């Protein structure tokens, strides 16, 4: 993955009915299909949390998907914060943690 000025990191917090409905696994597949690196996990308060690194276009596509999620999810809120990144892995990898 080549780093350019438009590369950045997005931290996402997704609320609603997002645990127990395959949200993390679907998010993982979507992020991999978009070529993003990062991770996602369930939180103790019932949200799904994710961090993704990539181009503006890649991140915006993932964020748009997060508002819908998989078929059984009911998303009530997606909070996004951005941060600059200084380096990316040579091979994008998106993991499910915890």
Angle between helical axes of 23-34 and 56-68 (0-180°, round to 10): 160
Of these residues, 24, 47, 56, 98, which one is catalytic?
24
Q: Which of the residues 41, 42, 47, 98 is marked catalytic? A: 42
| Separation CA 46–CA 17 (nearest Å) | 8
Q: State yes or no: is 41 an active-site residue.
A: no
| Catalytic residue check, 24 | yes
The residue behind tokens 């059984």 is 72
Give the active site residues. Answer: 24, 42
């Amino acid at each position: 993955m080549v780093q350019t000025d438009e590369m950045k990191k997005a931290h996402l917090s997704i609320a609603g009915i997002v645990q127990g409905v395959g949200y993390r696994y679907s998010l993982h597949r979507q992020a991999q299909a978009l070529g993003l690196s990062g991770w996602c996990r369930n939180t103790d308060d019932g949200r799904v949390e994710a961090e993704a690194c990539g181009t503006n276009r890649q991140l915006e596509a993932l964020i748009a998907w997060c508002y819908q999620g998989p078929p059984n999810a009911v998303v009530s809120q997606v909070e996004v914060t951005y941060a600059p990144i200084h380096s990316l892995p040579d091979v994008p990898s998106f993991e499910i943690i915890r």
